[in-house]
């Protein structure tokens, strides 16, 4: 029987998404958890894994269209199956639930682990935001079964990802030359770039911007890293860069001067006595800022692991909207 695939709720505050590139064509075979379509929100780009296996019978929403969560976007079923009675109107939100919301909210990393171990995600209790299943939830479930966990380095529960070295950066795309005689060119804004522009303007309206330059002698940090980087990577599977040292120092400074870790409300200053640290990751078409939750509770090793995992997920479009929210 054909299954109607709906756009999932991608986060507590994310109610719509723009369909990017369809990664399967009508008639293609689709395995369980195969990446089906790229989805862009105002917070993150991600790949939606297929919640069922079968053949892609119909694409109901074309690329570049923005729709609400719960909207029917595709139909997957048996090859040659007739669709007249099963296909809903294109782009219409569905009131019924034809696919598991827990399955739809699996990240690519978790979906791969579930498929590798032949697990039913409905049996795994999710501890992430909104009940989302994290990598740690899968590892705990496997440990409870007595099964061998996959050979990956365990990340803290706030993140999901392997600890393999990040992939080599793709060669930079060369912008096509403007046609002869054209003095101006109009390039449409992507959803991510539009969101970046809106957030920067909002920041200027709500906060006083001050630039300060401070010189820091990093000689001892350079020497420390050189002495321990090889052993650190061998023990943890994570590269020791300068960023964890900088993040650790920033966190200690925020704890010493909590007023800096604050935000303006309408009639008060809200001081955060915890640190959720945003780490900017440059992408080919913009910038993403995933957040290390409760960063002030983490060691240097924990920060190094989280930074590497989040950066890799950002470049692989594996972040969820929850991963880029809550920064202090």
Strand-pair partners of 288: 281
Per-residue pLDDT of the chain (328 residues; tens, 9 = 90+): 789 999 887 766 667 888 888 999 999 999 988 889 988 877 777 888 898 999 999 999 998 888 888 899 999 998 888 776 555 555 555 544 444 443 445 665 677 677 777 888 878 887 765 666 777 778 888 888 754 444 443 444 444 444 444 445 445 555 555 566 678 888 887 777 777 788 788 878 777 788 889 899 999 999 999 999 999 999 999 999 999 999 999 999 999 999 999 988 878 999 999 999 999 998 877 788 899 999 999 999 999 999 999 999 888 888 887 888 889 8
Structure letter (DSSP) for residue 258: G
User: Could you confirm whether domain 192-203+214-324 is CATH 3.30.559.10?
Assistant: yes
Give the C-alpha separation, 295 to 246, whole Å. Answer: 13
Q: In which residue ranges of the chain is CATH 3.30.559.10 found? A: 192-203+214-324
pLDDT at 174: 52
At 80 the pLDDT is: 81
Kindly give the residue spans of alpha helices, DSSP state H, lying in 154-206: 191-206
Rounded Cα distance, 244 and 207, in Å = 27
State pTM to two decimals: 0.56
Give the whole-angstrom CA distance, residue 102 versus residue 133.
Answer: 7
Measure the CA–CA gap between 284 and 277, rounded to whole angstroms. Answer: 22
State in words which class domain 3-100 has: mainly beta
Angstrom distance (rounded) from CA 148 to CA 32: 22
d(CA 153, CA 173): 33
Pairing of strands 269-271, 277-278: unpaired
CATH of 106-151, one of 3.40.190.290, 4.10.320.10, 3.20.20.70, 1.10.10.410: 4.10.320.10
Q: What is the DSSP letter of 288?
A: E
Neighbours of 144 (CB within 10 A): 9
Q: What's the length of the chain?
A: 328
How far is 20 from 38, CA to CA, in rounded Å?
A: 5
Task: Supply the pLDDT for residue 105.
Answer: 54
Instruction: Report the pLDDT value the prediction gives residue 226, as an integer from 0 to 100.
Output: 96
> HSE-up of 288 (CA within 13 Å, CB side)?
31
Residues 6+ apart with CB under 8 A from 102: 121, 122, 126, 131, 132, 133
Residue 60: strand, helix, or coil: coil
d(CA 23, CA 35): 7
Intervals of CATH 2.40.50.100 along the chain = 3-100
State the Cα–Cα distance between residues 46 and 36, nearest whole angstrom. 11
Give the Cα separation of 274 and 297 in Å (integer).
9
Residue 216 contacts by C-beta under 8 Å, 6 or more apart in sequence? none
In the chain, which segments carry CATH 4.10.320.10?
Answer: 106-151
Q: What Å distances lie between residue 281 and 88, 112, 264, 295, 324, CA to CA?
A: 39, 24, 26, 17, 11
């Amino acid at each position: 029987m054909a299954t109607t695939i709906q756009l999932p709720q991608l986060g507590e505050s994310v109610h719509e998404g723009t369909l990017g590139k369809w990664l399967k064509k009508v008639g293609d075979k689709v395995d369980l958890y195969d990446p089906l379509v790229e989805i862009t929100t105002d917070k993150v780009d991600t790949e939606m894994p297929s919640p069922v296996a079968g053949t892609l019978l119909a694409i109901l929403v074309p690329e570049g269209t923005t729709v609400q969560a719960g909207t029917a976007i595709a139909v997957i079923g048996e090859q040659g199956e007739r669709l007249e009675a099963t296909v809903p109107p294109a782009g219409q939100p569905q009131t019924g639930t034809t696919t598991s919301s827990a399955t739809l909210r699996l990240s690519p990393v978790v979906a791969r682990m579930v498929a590798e171990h032949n697990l039913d995600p409905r049996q795994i209790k999710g501890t992430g935001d909104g009940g989302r299943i994290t990598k740690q939830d899968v590892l705990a479930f496997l440990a409870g079964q007595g099964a061998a966990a996959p050979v990956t380095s365990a990340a803290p529960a706030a993140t999901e990802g392997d600890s393999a070295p990040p992939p080599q950066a793709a060669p930079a795309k060369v912008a096509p030359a403007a046609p002869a005689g054209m003095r101006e060119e109009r390039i449409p804004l992507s959803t991510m770039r539009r969101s970046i522009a809106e957030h920067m303007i909002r920041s200027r309206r709500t906060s006083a911007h001050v630039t300060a330059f401070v010189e820091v002698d990093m000689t001892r940090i350079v020497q420390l890293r050189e002495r321990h980087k090889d052993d650190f990577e061998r023990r943890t599977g994570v590269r020791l860069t300068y960023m964890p040292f900088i993040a650790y120092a920033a966190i200690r400074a925020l704890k010493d001067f909590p007023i800096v870790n604050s935000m303006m409300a309408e009639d008060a200053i809200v001081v955060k006595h915890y640190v959720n640290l945003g780490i900017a990751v440059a992408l080919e078409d913009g910038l993403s800022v995933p957040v290390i939750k409760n960063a002030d509770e983490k060691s240097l090793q924990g920060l190094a692991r989280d930074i590497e995992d989040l950066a890799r997920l950002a470049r692989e479009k594996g972040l969820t909207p929850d991963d880029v929210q809550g920064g202090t």
